[in-house]
Structure 1
Amino acid sequence: MLSTLEWSAAVLLGLLVGSFLNVVIHRLPTMLQRRWEVECAALRGEEPPAQPPYNLLVPRSHCPACRASIPWWRNIPLVSFALQRGRCAACGTRIAWRYPVVELACGALFGAAAWRYGVSYPALAWAVWGAALLALAAIDWDTTLLPDDITLPLTWAGLIGAALGWTGVPLADALWGAVAGYLSLWSVYWAFKLLTGKEGMGYGDFKLLAGLGAWLGWQALIPLVLVASLVGAVVGLVLKATGGLREGRYVPFGPFLALGGLLVWAAGPKTLLTWLGLPA
C-alpha cells in the first residue's frame, strides 16, 4: 500500500525531473543543430566552426532575454514561477507558461506511476517513459524534430523492461510491437509519397511509434494511432480555422502519438476502442 509520504516523494521527484526536461526541450534541438554543422563541415573537409560549450549542463540556467544567471532558489519547480509571478526576477520579462506546465505534467506522471505500481522498478520505468514522451512531444511541437537521442533509447528500454518483467508486456509482444510500430508508419509514409510526391511525416514518427509498441505491445498500436489521428485532425482543423497553422501548414504528429500512448497506458487498449465506438 502506497503511503501519502511515498506518493508525495514521487510527485516531488517528478517536478524536479520536469524542471530538467525544460532544459532538454530547450537545448537539445540546438545541440543537434551544432552537431550537424560539425558533421557537415567534416564532410566538406573544413574545420568545424568555433563555438562555446553548449550542452545540458553548460552554460548555467539563465534568462533568454537578459542572459542573467538563475540561482537555484529561483529555479524551484512551480514555486519560483509563482513567487516571481511568471516573470524574470532580473529584467521582468514574462516567463513562458510552458515551464510550469511541463513540471506539473511530469509530477502528475510520476505520481500516477507510483499510485499504480507502488514503490518499485516498474513505477520508475513507467515514470521515465512518461517523461521521455513529454520531452518528445514538446520538442516535436516546437521544431518538428523527434531526436534519435530519445526515441532510440526509448525503444531499447521498452524491450529491456519487457525482458525484466517491469512493463508487464511479454517480450514477444514488445518485440512485435516495435516492429509493427515502425513498419506501419513507414508503409503509410511511402504510400503517401508515391501517390502525392510529398512527405506526410518524418522518420522520427516511425521510431516513436516503434518505441511505444515496445512499451505497450502490438495490441496497443491500433487504438493508439486512431486516437492520435483523431485528436491530431481536430487540432489541425482548429488551428486552420483560427489561422494558427505554422509556415508550411502542417501539424507535427509526434505529440498526438505521445498522447495516444499515455491514454493507452492509463486506460488500456480495449477501453480506448470502446470510447471510440469500436469493437474491443
Structure 2
Amino acid sequence: MQAEIPLFILIFILGAAIGSFLNVVAYRLPKILFDQDYRVISGFLREEAAKSDRFKSGIPILDRILSRQNADQLLTKHDVLPAKGLLYLATPASSCPNCGHKIRAYENIPVLGWLFLRGKCSGCHSRISVQYPLVELLTGLLTVAVVYVTGLDLNGALFVFFMWILMTLSLIDLKFYVLPDQLTLPLMWLGLLSSFFGWIQVDFKEAFLGAIVGYLSLWFINQVARLILRRDGMGNGDFKLLAALGAWLGLGNLFNVILLSSISGAVVGIVVMMISKNRMIPYGPFLALAALLIVLFGIEPHTFFYLAS
C-alpha cells in the first residue's frame, strides 16, 4: 500500500488539474451553446427584416416590428460578441470576469493558486468564488477514489472519465439549470459502446435496456407530474442523463439510482425550501451523486429493490 502512495498523489494532482478545466467547461459551454442559439435566432430575424422591407403585410405594428431598422436596433442592443471575442473551451486564456485580468500560470495552480491569491483577483481584488478550489479538490479526491475502487486499467480509466463528465454536468445544472445534449448523449453512447466492446464490466444487454428504461421511466414520471401539477416536474436533460447512467451502470442499478437520487433530492429540497421557497432545485446533481455512490461503494444491482420488498 505504501508503494502506491506516490502513484495516488500523482493521480490526485491529475484529477485536480482536470477539475480546474471542468470549472472552465462548466462556465463556458452553456454560454457557447446560448451564443449559438442566439446567432440562429438573430439570423432569422435579420432575414425576416430584409423580407419585410420588400413585402409589407399591411399590418402597421407587424411591419414596424419586422422593419430592418428596428431589428438592427434590437440585435445591436442584445447581440453576441464579435468574432474576436467568441468563447471556446480552450481559448481565450482564463481571465477575471470583473476586470479582464489575465490569470497567470502560477495563479492557475489547482487549489494552491486560490490560496496564494487569498480568494481575490490580483488585478482588481474582487472575490474569486470558492467553487473553483472546492471543485479542484473534490475532483482530485474522487479521481483517486474511483481509481482505487475500479482499478488502474481501461475499466477504471473509463469510469474516471464518467465521473468527470458527471461533475461537469452537475456544475452546469446547478448554475444554469440545463443538462446539455452535447454531454449527456455522448456519455450515453460511450457507455453503450464500452459495454458492447467489453471495455467496462457491464453486460451490453443490461446497458442497452438500462438506457431505454432510464429515459422512459423519468419521461413517464414527468408526464404524470404534468397531468397533476400542470407543469413539468423535470427537464428533458434529466431523462437523457438517466439514460446515460443506465448505459454505464446497467438496468439492475436504475432503481438504486432513482431511489438514492430521490432521497437525497428530497432532503436537500426540504432544507432549501425552508431557507428560500422560490429557489429551483435541479435534479441532475442528485442523479450524478447516486451514480457515484453506486460506483464508489460497489452497490449491487437491485439492492434497494430487495430491501424495499
Measure, in 1, the Cα distance between the counterparts of 2:98 and 2:193. Answer: 42
Contact preservation (8 Å) 2:262, 2:286: yes
Contact preservation (8 Å) 1:209, 1:257: yes
Question: Of the two, which has the highest radius of gyration?
Answer: 2
3-state SS of 1:278 partner: helix
Query: Deviations for 1:227-272, whole angstroms, at most 9, x for unmatched residues?
Result: 11111111111111112642xxx31100101111111112234499
Residue 266 of structure 1 aligns with an amino acid whose one-letter code is: L
* The one of 168, 193, 197 aligned to 1:164: 197
Query: Deviations for 1:200-225, whole angstroms, at most 9, x for unmatched residues?
Result: 11000000000000000011111111
* Per-residue deviation, 1:277: 9.2
73-82 or 194-203, larger mean C-alpha shift = 194-203
Equivalence for 2:228: 195
Contact preservation (8 Å) 1:239, 1:245: no
Residue 120 of structure 1 aligns with an amino acid whose one-letter code is: D
The 1:117/1:268 distance shift into structure 2, 3 A limit, reads closer
Equivalence for 1:111: 144
3-state SS of 1:237 partner: helix
Residue 27 of structure 2 aligns with an amino acid whose one-letter code is: H
Percent identity of equivalent pairs:
38
* The one of 262, 267, 276 aligned to 2:292: 262
* Per-residue deviation, 1:50: 5.6
Equivalence for 1:278: 307
3-state SS of 1:60 partner: coil
* Per-residue deviation, 1:5: 2.5
Contact preservation (8 Å) 1:264, 1:272: no
TM-score, with structure 2 as normaliser: 0.83
Contact preservation (8 Å) 1:245, 1:251: no
Equivalence for 1:251: 281
* Runs (5+) with no aligned partner, structure 2: 48-71
Equivalence for 2:158: 125
Tell me the number of residue pairs that the alignment of Structure 1 and Structure 2 aligns: 276
Measure, in 2, the Cα distance between the counterparts of 1:256 and 1:55. Answer: 28
Equivalence for 2:238: 205
* The one of 163, 181, 190 aligned to 2:214: 181
Please tell me whether residue 151 in structure 1 is matched to residue 184 in structure 2.
yes
Measure, in 1, the Cα distance between the counterparts of 2:210 and 2:302. Answer: 17
The 1:156/1:14 distance shift into structure 2, 3 A limit, reads same
Measure, in 2, the Cα distance between the counterparts of 1:151 and 1:43. Answer: 28
Please tell me whether residue 6 in structure 1 is matched to residue 7 in structure 2.
yes
Contact preservation (8 Å) 1:11, 1:111: yes
Contact preservation (8 Å) 1:192, 1:198: yes
38-47 or 50-59, larger mean C-alpha shift = 38-47
Equivalence for 1:23: 24
262-271 or 197-206, larger mean C-alpha shift = 262-271
* Runs (5+) with no aligned partner, structure 1: none
Query: Deviations for 1:117-148, whole angstroms, at most 9, x for unmatched residues?
Result: 33311121111100100111111011110001
Measure, in 1, the Cα distance between the counterparts of 2:205 and 2:127. Answer: 49
The 1:36/1:230 distance shift into structure 2, 3 A limit, reads same
Contact preservation (8 Å) 1:228, 1:259: yes
Contact preservation (8 Å) 1:176, 1:218: yes
Contact preservation (8 Å) 2:253, 2:301: no
Residue 39 of structure 2 aligns with an amino acid whose one-letter code is: V
23-32 or 52-61, larger mean C-alpha shift = 52-61
